Structure 1
Amino acid sequence: MSTSAPTPGGSSDDALQHVEHELGLLLRRARANSARMAARVHPDLEPAAYPLLAHIAQNPDVRAREIAAHIGVGKGTMSRQLARLEELALVERRPDPEDSRGQLIRLTPEGLRRVEGAKVARRRFLGAALGAWTDDEIGHLADQLARLNADLETASRRRTD
């Protein structure tokens, strides 16, 4: 088995193999970056919790079950992660006025400050990495990634139905 990247062009299987290879590389780099971003937010933050914080930042007063569905984890895992984030003073819960059993989750002011700082650093890094790209190329990449994410979501739903 070759360790070099498959070449583009050729058969459909070759093209899919090339996509698979490049996505694998992208995902490995994203995991490593997520670990750096988590450490930037808080030295004791687990890398898997960073996307959770980013989602809460974008959706203040979100319910835990909605976060769990978005992230793709069970209720128990979500409860443990949120408890840890509370211990680190990054999130806070308040009663859900529409559901007496539920709680709404939001970042604490300190959590928001730290997540925003990490976002700025991440965008600075991405901007430097894509510094030679034109705005049109960056826009095209964003459009294609959005299309890929939508198609992967659709395929995933079909597979579980």
Structure 2
Amino acid sequence: METSIRASGFPLPDDTQAFVLFSELLRQDAQPPTELAKTLRTGRANISKIVRRLEATGLVDRTPNPADTRSVLVRVSPQGRSFAQKYADLGQGFYARLFRSWEDDEVAEFADQLTRFTRELEALTAVRVASADGRDGTGPTD
């Protein structure tokens, strides 16, 4: 992951946590720090530090939470969206080169199988997380 972060031009190339949080905000839009802490499985104090580092780069900002005026939402800033678009464009070019020699039906079959793999991995991961959290009554699994 570190190599990808450096290659992306991410302004905090040695900060994997910041990259993960930024990616999560791109996926889920504005979030309160408490939700980000749950998603990243860390504490609110750590989220605050990561958000401050991202704010210093201009990739994210904080805005009042309309649902709870006592709290804020962390969101990707316009500058952050611009960076994300450039990163996505680089990725598109990479995959275009990677699949240049593949036939269209081969790419479609690969995409179908990758989608199936992802769905099954997410389902298995959800079961393991629920099990580790004791939600299904079985406790941690190996």
Q: How many residues align?
A: 130
Displacement, 1:43? 5.4
TM-score normalised by length of structure 2: 0.72
Query: 2:62 maps to what in 1?
Result: 93
Q: Which runs of 5+ in 2 are unaligned?
A: 135-142
Counting only pairs closer than 5 Å after superposition, residues 33-44 of structure 1 correspond to structure 2 as 33-37=4-8, 40-42=9-11
* Contact 2:6–2:13 under 8 Å retained in 1: no
Q: Secondary structure at the match of 2:72?
A: strand
Task: Establish whether residue 110 from structure 1 lines up as the match of residue 79 from structure 2.
Answer: yes
What is the rounded CA distance, in whole Å, between the counterparts of 2:83 and 2:67 in structure 1? Answer: 30
Matches for 1:58-77 after TM superposition, within 5 Å? 58-77=27-46
Distance 2:7 2:28 in 1: 23
1:98 to partner: Cα distance: 0.6
Corresponding residue number in structure 1 for 2:53: 84
- Cα RMSD after superposing both structures: 2.5
What are structure 1's unaligned runs of at least 5 residues? 1-29
CA distance change for structure 1 residues 107 and 134 in 2, over 3 Å: closer, same or farther?
A: same
SS of residue matched to 2:15: coil
Distance of aligned partners of 1:127 and 1:63 in 2 relative to their CA distance in 1, 3 Å threshold? farther
Q: State the one-letter code of the partner of 1:105.
A: V
Contact 1:34 1:48 in 2 (8 A): no
Output the CA distance in 2 between the equivalents of 1:52 and 1:125: 23
